[in-house]
Amino acid sequence: MNEEILKIDDLNVYKIPHTVEIGEESEPTKTIVVKFAKKRKVLSTMEGFKVVEFVGNNSIPVPFWDKVHNYKEYKNQIFKKIDIDKERIALLSTGADMDNVAIAKEEFDEYYTIALTTAGAKYNAIRLGDEEADYIEKDLKTYKIMNDGSLLMLEKTGTVNIILITNANLTDGAMAKAIITITEAKTTVFQELDIRSTKKPHLQATGTGTDSIIVVGGYGKEVGYTGGHSKIGEMIAKCVKKSVKEALIKQDKLQ
């Protein structure tokens, strides 16, 4: 049975239990789906700009982490399981448990911001700019660079997934800028929790190598700037920071 975990204005957030199959194997999982009463413009780091009725976040079951070799096929299966056509939804996926989702909200004047976050940093925390990459992409396929220089095809899963929703009517530039604000807020949590790079533990991590974001705009007053000097930027950063911290603590049992 679907579980409603949030309802506000024109949106409802549900946690949908279902199964996924690879070959003859079947595993239980959950997908969080945000349903809007009216289509909204979104910017996803996975799919770019879309106008959709839904956004979502799917948990890849632990036994399947190393078995999802065709991510497109896997996502198509999720669309069928949750009964939503792919054109109508912007979807993320992760290894984190949807039961460990964290939700935070900020309000000021006529605006609100909501962050729905799943997070885990045990296996691929990274400090960008100070580490060598392990993967290379060719024709949208991801390969691991082996010690001998050969390539091994792999699939990647998001580790810190953030869905940021606002009722502000964000310009395209404001949506893009919001990704910077969200990323900087996430990084402050990694600093405060002293999360270390998986490969180089003497370095403090700035995130994981597979983090993903969806920014969802609304139908309120138009906003063209979402940086830290603006109130909307402050609201974005605060709710992201709260939700990322809570999600990391819940998923990785940090406290």
What are the tens digits of pLDDT across the range 141-183? 666 666 666 654 554 444 899 999 999 999 999 999 999 999 9
| Number of domains the chain is built from | 1
* H-helix segments, 35-171: 71-82
Angle separating helix axes 172-192 and 231-252, nearest 10 degrees: 40
Entry pTM: 0.90
* Vertex 158 angle, CA 160 and 172, to 5°: 75
Tell me if 74 sits within 8 A of 31, measured CB to CB: no
What are the tens digits of pLDDT across the range 75-132? 999 999 999 999 999 999 999 999 999 999 999 999 999 999 999 887 676 676 766 6
Token pair belonging to 51: 């106008």
Domain CATH for 214? 3.60.70
What are the tens digits of pLDDT across the range 41-76? 999 999 999 999 999 999 999 888 878 878 889 999
Domain of residue 59, residue span: 3-252
